[in-house]
Amino acid sequence: MKKFKFQLETLLKVTRMKKEDAEVKFAEVSRRLEEQKEQLQLLINEMEQGQRDYENISQEGTRVTIGRLMSYNRFFAWKREQIEIQRGIILQTRGEKQKKLKILMEVMTYLKSIEQLKEKRLREYNEQVMFEEQKFLDELGLQLTMRARREAAS
């Protein structure tokens, strides 16, 4: 009997490559999201450091000039704006991550169905091979029995 050949082997290979590609893209967007979260934390830390600096100046009892007060005010407004922008970027990247995850899950489901089909076809092939072998052995046994009867009758 011929060797087992899965007709959809090429499709299986292509789907595996698509899965690997989807995994890479998902990992990239996950890494980018983590980097953006770190950037947000850095901005928040800078804002908090600015607030501590402002409180230290206020508590020292030194005179705070309007120029210095306006500088801190601009700095805090600028940092708040940066933080909001960064939060928007994180939100956008989370959405992108969800899309990549959905694509990955779809490809994995499709790949699993093809692999299950291959396993089913392999089982069917093995059953057919076993059937053919059993048929051959039965015929061989029948021939040997017939030959033994003829020899016993002679």
The pLDDT tens digits for 79-131 are 999 999 999 999 999 999 999 999 999 999 999 999 999 999 999 999 999 99
Position 127 scores a pLDDT of 95
Report in angstroms the alpha-carbon separations of 6 from 9, 114, 126.
5, 10, 13
pTM of the model: 0.76
Structure tokens at 15: 């789907």
Position 1 scores a pLDDT of 67
How far apart (Å, rounded) are the C-alpha atoms in residues 128 and 136?
Answer: 12
The tens digit of pLDDT for each residue in 32-57 reads: 999 999 999 999 999 999 999 888 88
Phi, psi of 4 (to 5 degrees): -65, 130
